Chains A and B, each alone.
Chain A
Amino acid sequence: MIATTDAPSRPADLPTGRGTTGRPGRPPQEPTDRRGSRTRRSARRPGASLAVNGILILGVAYMVLPLLWLVFAVTKDAKGLYGSSAFSPGGAFVENLQQLMTQDGGIFWRWLGNSVLYAGIGALVCGFVALMAGYAFDKFSFRGKNGLYGFVLVGVLIPNTATVIPLYLLAASVGATNTIWAVLIPAFCNPFSVYLARVFSAGYLPDETLEAARVDGAGPIRSFFSIGLPMLVPGFVTIVLFQFVAIWNNFMLPLIMLQDRDLFPSSVGIALWQSQVQQNPEFSTLVIAGSFVSILPLVLAFVGLQRFWRSGLSAGSVK
């Protein structure tokens, strides 16, 4: 695939995760698979194998049991939730989902739809804008490039929630609160996506290819759309996936910006129901069913798109 196109040609000028290359003791990153030589040794170490895999299984249990609890809890009615054994199925699964879908005139559908809308549109626009900027930072040379890129890096370091109240104040001053734009516009902008896009552009898109396009007479904009964009699709999917999850999971921004219940994303809606559990324990089945339904798409996306989040995380770990 796109894989190691330029790996042999110029290994020296690529700074890697090891920091500056060429320094003794800091070998450059090598895409070698060392599994072969290491599995041979493993056969002789049954005790070590038991310990290593045992701890890993404990770790997996810690990560998965809470989710498993949710899967069983969604099958129980309010009484079963408190009464029965946690990891045994109840018989109220269909009933719970029906209640979830009809509660408050089926508002949960709306919340779910809003989440899809905000996260979908937000991530696509963010991904495209970031790809263009990352591509420009990687492939073009212009004055003030380092200074501008510095802004991007500072943006990466500003904690998201520290800008939420400032965003609210600004949005309130122009009357934009309680509109979808108050949630969408901040979602369009993620400096970290630009950083990732630059890394991907440097990794997936050899300069020579663009050079060839230029020789063939394509202008810079046309060569971006006809050559750059198609080759950057894997990077684009990765950026969109991470931004999609970030928007879907965002809580503070929509909580503060939106007052109209019909505009809530599922995270804020479920939190609203949760705040009513104290007065009305019946709401707990709603909260659990809503949680179950709203994490399903994300879990499926992560299982189905493993290649992309793996590449995103390895790109993000490089300075």
Chain B
Amino acid sequence: MSIRLAGRAPRTARHPIAGTGGRTAAIFLTPFFVLFLVAMIAPVVYAVGMSLFAERRSGLGFGGTETEFVGLGNYVDVLSSPTFVAGFGRLALYCLLYIPVLLGAALLFALLLDAAVAKAKRAFQLLLFLPHAVPGVIAALIWAYLYTPGVSPFVSALESGGIQIDFLSVHMVLPSMVNIAVWEWAGYNMIILFTALQAVPREVLEAARVDGAGEIRTAISIKTPLIAPSLGIALLFTVIGSLQLFTEPTILSSATTAVTSTWVPNMWAYDAAFNRNNLPQAAAASIILALVAGVLSWVVTRFASKGRA
């Protein structure tokens, strides 16, 4: 089929097609870059601008507000807000738990599917991938019910086995959230890694076999290092994705009081904008999050390309 070739990256060295210079390229590129400007650059620039000002009540509280330049004052306020810092700490903890579990599960399933003895590979792939078709809101809703005692078959199964766990308690809600995200994204990442595994050349595996390496040994010390670049990409997108955490905690916050309205930085920004009506602080919080994402992406990219060199 046409699948394999799609795995080719754009060529770098190529013969330019004569007569297709800048002007034609401009016609093809303008629509995208106009949208890019309107939907990404302009909002960020506007938010940076806004985050440098604050609204102060003038006089005795009458007479409206006036806008005042405060420089990085909002950033200082946001970063010294205990709820924001707590939210970031929670997000960091979430990432530390989520990323290894997610990529570990994805890699395990990819390697198992790539094993010679695996049966019905296409059906397994489809079924493992299926949760990705479920919107985040609905995934969170389904699991919220599955965490609720009385409704959940799993809670009652555990109870009949003598185990009492309140998945929505203050201490358990973070791992519960990780579970939802793993459920949504493990299949997706599994397919990425499995596709990379399919491209590992047969000769290398034959050589390993001749050298006496078993299936498990081959999987760990031959296949996994060979798909390191794909693991790097999966890691990069997982990091960016985890920082966005908003949907799942927002849905769970209606099911448990353990999730507060400022539980993660994105919720903090939402709360600042719409409950506390402090738009400049909301803007500053969004910019901080984007910066952290940028720095982390850069680190992951560096790390990934170093691992390749």
A160 surroundings in chain B (CB, below 8 A): 244
User: Does B25 contact A63, Cβ atoms closer than 8 Å?
Assistant: no
Whether, in the assembled complex, B12 has its beta carbon less than 8 Å from a beta carbon of chain A, the answer is yes
User: Does B1 contact A203, Cβ atoms closer than 8 Å?
Assistant: no
User: Does B229 contact A159, Cβ atoms closer than 8 Å?
Assistant: no
Whether, in the assembled complex, A135 has its beta carbon less than 8 Å from a beta carbon of chain B, the answer is yes
User: Does B192 contact A270, Cβ atoms closer than 8 Å?
Assistant: no
Which residues of A from 264 to 319 have beta carbons under 8 Å from B?
Answer: 267-268, 270-271, 274-275, 277-278, 284, 287-288, 291, 294-295, 298-299, 301-303, 306-307, 309-319
Chain A residues touching B, majority SS = helix
User: Does B5 contact A188, Cβ atoms closer than 8 Å?
Assistant: no
Chain A min CB distance to B265 (Å): 9
Chain A min CB distance to B3 (Å): 5
User: Does B153 contact A53, Cβ atoms closer than 8 Å?
Assistant: no
In the assembly, what is the distance between CA of A267 and CA of B140, in Å? 11
Which residues of A from 1 to 60 have beta carbons under 8 Å from B?
Answer: 1-7, 13-20, 27, 29-32, 34, 37-39, 41-42, 45, 48-49, 52-53, 55-56, 59-60
Which residues of B from 7 to 25 have beta carbons under 8 Å from A?
Answer: 7-22, 24-25
In the assembly, what is the distance between CA of A167 and CA of B36, in Å? 12
In the assembly, what is the distance between CA of A274 and CA of B140, in Å? 11
User: Does B19 contact A203, Cβ atoms closer than 8 Å?
Assistant: no
A191 surroundings in chain B (CB, below 8 A): 36, 40
In the assembly, what is the distance between CA of A81 and CA of B144, in Å? 14
User: Does A56 contact B196, Cβ atoms closer than 8 Å?
Assistant: no
Max chain B C-beta neighbours (<10 A), residue from A67, A140, A224, A256: A140
Whether, in the assembled complex, B138 has its beta carbon less than 8 Å from a beta carbon of chain A, the answer is yes
User: Does A155 contact B183, Cβ atoms closer than 8 Å?
Assistant: no
Q: A163-B44, A169-B283 are in contact. Are A56 and B124 (CB under 8 A)?
A: yes
User: Does A169 contact B47, Cβ atoms closer than 8 Å?
Assistant: yes
User: Does A140 contact B24, Cβ atoms closer than 8 Å?
Assistant: yes
Residue in B closest to A300 when the chains form the complex, CB atoms: B133
Q: What is the size category of the interface that chain A forms with chain B?
A: 35 or more
User: Does A56 contact B2, Cβ atoms closer than 8 Å?
Assistant: no
User: Contact mask B146-162 → A, CB, 8 Å, 1/0?
Assistant: 10001111000000000
User: Does B12 contact A15, Cβ atoms closer than 8 Å?
Assistant: yes
In-complex Cβ contact of A165 among B116, B230, B247, B286 (8 A): B286
User: Contact mask B11-51 → A, CB, 8 Å, 1/0?
Assistant: 11111111111101111110111011011101110110010
User: Does B9 contact A14, Cβ atoms closer than 8 Å?
Assistant: yes
In the assembly, what is the distance between CA of A294 and CA of B137, in Å? 11
A238 surroundings in chain B (CB, below 8 A): 6
Whether, in the assembled complex, A204 has its beta carbon less than 8 Å from a beta carbon of chain B, the answer is yes
Whether, in the assembled complex, A248 has its beta carbon less than 8 Å from a beta carbon of chain B, the answer is yes
In-complex Cβ contact of B233 among A30, A85, A249, A316 (8 A): A316
Q: A59-B128, A203-B6 are in contact. Are A220 and B19 (CB under 8 A)?
A: yes
Residue in A closest to B298 when the chains form the complex, CB atoms: A157
User: Does A299 contact B215, Cβ atoms closer than 8 Å?
Assistant: no
In the assembly, what is the distance between CA of A87 and CA of B151, in Å? 11
Between A and B, 10 residue pairs with Cβ closer than 8 Å are A27-B201, A29-B199, A31-B4, A52-B115, A140-B16, A173-B46, A189-B39, A270-B137, A274-B144, A314-B3
Which 3 pairs between the two chains have the least Cβ-Cβ distance?
A86-B153, A141-B16, A166-B47
